Amino acid sequence: PIPSISNAWIVTYILLSLPIYFTISAAVNPIPINGTCHDTCGTISVKYPFGSGFGCGHPDFARYVRCNAGTLEFSTGTGIYNVSDIDYSSSTLIIRDPFMSACSSMQNSGSFSLDRASPFTLTGENIFVLLGCSTNSPLFDPAEDLCAMGSRSRVCRGLYSCKGVTGIGLLQNAPPSTCCVYESPIQLAGYTLDLPKLQCSSYTSVYSFGGSEGDPMKWKFGISLQYNDSYYSNVCKDCETSGGLCGFTGFDQSFACVYENGKNTSTSCFGQGYEWSGTRESKNLNMLSFGGLLLLWLLISF
Ligand SMILES: *[C@@H]1O[C@H](CO)[C@@H](O)[C@H](O)[C@H]1NC(C)=O
Ligand SMILES: *[C@@H]1O[C@H](CO)[C@@H](O)[C@H](O)[C@H]1NC(C)=O
Ligand SMILES: *[C@@H]1O[C@H](CO)[C@@H](O)[C@H](O)[C@H]1NC(C)=O
Ligand SMILES: *[C@@H]1O[C@H](CO)[C@@H](O)[C@H](O)[C@H]1NC(C)=O
């Protein structure tokens, strides 16, 4: 019977050693979370998969959206844009390019692009309008058919009726021949509006007519984006139920449940994970000495 007792000890020892191994490997990872994650940024409610800072929300989103001094910002290769609204029920958000035109004020704009690999796509609500374009622009190439005709071209006339149009060097009610309602790959991810290439001085995006198509002052200007809403997992739901906010930690950006006091986070939520707290080193030591004791018992039992 003695060898079988030893076998039982070996099994017990291995089982009890596993958490020690995992605790040590977790402890060598840096903790990117400083302080807490918040559920608002200025006046905007911040919910998963968005986060208020690095280590908060989902890592795929943290690259694009962050809270900077009370302003929620969206970054792409072409710039940093304010997020003015997030609608969680329809998984959409509105961003505002500071250099895009609106009826009240028009100005030269930069290009806009959306990274193909990002979890964001343009919604079909956007009407992109290119303003102040050269008549030699490739937009007006009759073979390409890039500008919408018919009812959508009323958008051009509407915008050129705005007083703001003088900001791009045009007279109010100028002929809309230098304006284009751009119908190119609007619903695609990885979308680029390259103004120098299109030879236009400005652009705008209208995502709603605000109930009054005849009055461009009431139109809503901004870019409406759809985000991939399939990131919400059961482990995140559990974290939120336990009063935490979902985040990530370590080199592998693995899931972490972040509590609002910022004092601890764990890889899961109901205390079965590993705590990140000031006492974790002494805990590791305790676990190591416990492991050593077991090893001693194991040797004695042989
Ligand atoms: C962490 O947050 C504290 C305040 O909460 C701040 O003073 C400190 O500079 C921050 N450290 C880093 C590395 O961001
Ligand atoms: C972005 O938000 C900040 C702070 O709320 C504000 O100062 C800034 O003017 C905004 N930029 C644009 C383009 O709306
Ligand atoms: C949304 O994200 C999920 C999980 O990250 C991914 O499997 C899926 O392909 C994405 N969907 C789209 C349309 O990109
Ligand atoms: C985190 O800290 C809070 C308060 O200090 C405590 O109530 C909670 O149980 C802790 N959570 C974990 C996972 O240790």
Question: What residue owns the CA closest to ligand 2's atom 1?
Answer: 82
Residue identifier of the C-alpha nearest atom 8 of ligand 2: 82
Summarize pLDDT for 122-177 with one digit per residue, the tens: 998 999 999 999 999 998 988 887 888 776 779 999 999 999 999 999 999 999 99
Q: What is the pLDDT of residues 87-112, one digit of tens each?
A: 999 999 999 999 999 999 999 999 99
Q: Which residues, at least 6 apart from 161, have a Cβ–Cβ distance to it below 8 Å?
A: 172, 173, 216
Q: What is the pLDDT of residues 60-89, one digit of tens each?
A: 999 999 999 999 999 998 999 999 999 999
* Ligand 1 centroid – CA 29 distance (Å): 19
Q: Is 261 in the pocket of ligand 3 (CB under 6 A)?
A: no
Residue located via tokens 């070996």: 10
Strand order in the sheet with 200-208: 180-182, 127-133, 200-208, 220-221
The Å distance, Cα 116 to ligand 3 centre, comes to: 12
pTM: 0.73
pLDDT grade for 115, boundaries at 50, 70 and 90: confident
Q: Give distance in angstroms: CA of 264 to centre of ligand 4.
A: 6
Distances (CA, A) of 211 to 34, 46, 226: 44, 28, 22
How much is the pLDDT for 93? 97
Dihedral angle of Cα 272, 274, 280, 282, to the nearest 10 degrees: 60
Local structure of residue 56 (DSSP, 8 states): B
Predicted confidence (pLDDT) at residue 271 exceeds the cutoff of 90: no
Whose tokens are 């230098």? That residue is 178
For the chain, give the mean pLDDT: 80
pLDDT in tens, 190-236: 678 899 999 999 999 999 999 999 999 999 999 999 999 999 889 89
Place of tokens 């336990």: 242
Q: How far is the CA of 94 from the centre of ligand 3 (A)?
A: 21
| Strand 220-221 versus strand 200-208 pairing type | antiparallel
**What's the pLDDT at 159?**
97
CA 280/CA 219 separation, integer angstroms? 55
Instruction: Give the residue from 124, 141, 125 showing the smallest Cα distance to 133.
Output: 141
* C-beta 35 within 6 A of ligand 1: yes
For atom 11 of ligand 3, which residue has the closest CA? 228
Q: In this predicted structure, what is the pLDDT of residue 33?
A: 46
d(CA 175, CA 128): 18
What does residue 209 show for φ and ψ, rounded to 5 degrees? -85, 5
Q: Which has the closest alpha carbon to 259: 92, 99, 55, 81?
A: 55
Question: What does the pLDDT average to over 41-63?
Answer: 93
Cβ atoms 241, 19 nearer than 8 A: no
The phi and psi torsions of 4 (rounded to 5 degrees) equal -70, -35
Q: Which atom of ligand 1 is nearest to the CA of 262?
A: 5
Structure confidence by residue, pLDDT tens digits, 2-39: 556 566 665 555 555 554 444 443 433 334 444 578 89
Q: What is the CA radius of gyration of the chain?
A: 28
Sorted by where each begins, the domain ranges of the chain are: 1-27+285-302, 92-227
